[in-house]
A = this chain, B = another copy of it.
Amino acid sequence: MTATPSSLHRVRDTLTPALRAALDRLDEESRRQAAYHFGWIDAAGAPACDGGGKAVRPALALLSAQAAGARPERGLPGAVAVELVHNFSLLHDDLMDGDEQRRHRRTVWSLYGASGAILTGDALLALAQEVLLECGQPTAAAAARLLSRATRELIRGQVQDMSFENRAHVTVAECVEMAAGKTGALLSASAAIGAVLAGAPVTVVDALALYGDQVGIAFQLIDDVLGVWGDPARTGKPVHNDLRTRKKSLPVAYALNQQGTSSVELAAWLSAPDEPDETELRRAADLVEEAGGRTWAVAEATRRLELGEAALRDAALDPAAREELIALGGFIVGRDM
């Protein structure tokens, strides 16, 4: 297991007060639900410290400003904004997916109802733009534009992901495009937004954006590998979890699109309607592996990450921030890779 990068330890001290100040603008009910979602209060409303997620996107945003030669605080409105957009998408996704638990706590919709989750998500999305546009920096509009595009891509990815459930066949390109939207777009915006706020030249912004994109796709590739072969003790999910739902994840899509008997057998199995048993799940995992899905996904993740790192090395970035970005990207992707 990779050690937690220091950028993730540092980000909380800066981010949390700014995030709380932003949420103070919301109506009482949306603020309560958001505070619960972020782990600051429990279901009864008592103060808690469940920490929420790892804040990798805000950490990227602060490093992004530093990479462009500015102080990390310059990226802070961006850090708050990307965290708000990320959590908007979690609130709506949990509802759409019917997930009752997130990080071992009840999800907002399951506790406060569907309307609560819809409205609180909406409020976080609107607030993200407001925080950026009110930060008083002349570069705020460019940052807000970057974020609104990323949000559109994020939504496109989610729409595409849901459409896969109703389709017998998806191509690898479609699957990568989906991951680029659902996971890559906001990580890309996170890695670039600090530099945009700092007024960095377009070559610097583009290199950072490309890095975030590749980190996102690489993360999704490894996450999908873990979804099939991951150790339940580490993933916190049942073994073969993604196969159980017959999800067309990246390694599965790769395997499906190869020639050979494993692919044919896998396609037949995926279109079967019944609940699979453990023997079937093991067999399906073996088929994906035999068709090269696992090897490809790991190699592709490595290739993507190296592509992103190369872009960072070619750009005129602050060297210390560059190394921290590479450490953070490696941490995001490198879950027992």
Contact = CB atoms under 8 A, between A and B. Distances in A.
Interface of A: 25-27, 29-30, 88, 92, 95-96, 114-115, 118-119, 121-123, 125-127, 129-130, 133-134, 140-141, 144-145, 148-149, 151-152, 155-156, 158-160, 162-163
Contact of A141 (B144, B152, B156, B163): B144
Nearest to A29: B159
How many copies the complex holds: the figure is 2
A141 B146 CA distance: 13
Given A159-B27, A160-B27, A163-B29, A126 B152 contact: yes
A36 to B, nearest CB: 15
Contacts of A155: 27, 30, 119, 122-123, 126
Of all A-B residue pairs in the complex, the 8 with the closest CB atoms, nearest first, are A141-B141, A126-B151, A130-B148, A27-B156, A133-B145, A129-B148, A96-B115, A123-B155
A245 to B, nearest CB: 16
Nearest to A133: B145
Contacts of A133: 141, 144-145, 148
A138 B115 CA distance: 37
Given A88-B122, A96-B118, A129-B144, 16 more contacts: A26-B156, A27-B159, A92-B122, A95-B118, A96-B119, A119-B159, A122-B122, A123-B156, A125-B126, A126-B148, A126-B151, A130-B148, A130-B152, A133-B141, A133-B144, A134-B145
Contacts of A159: 27, 29-30, 119, 123
Nearest to A139: B141
Contacts of A95: 118
A140 B151 CA distance: 19
A117 B273 CA distance: 27
Contacts of A29: 159, 163
A114 B96 contact: yes
A131 to B, nearest CB: 9
Contacts of A121: 122
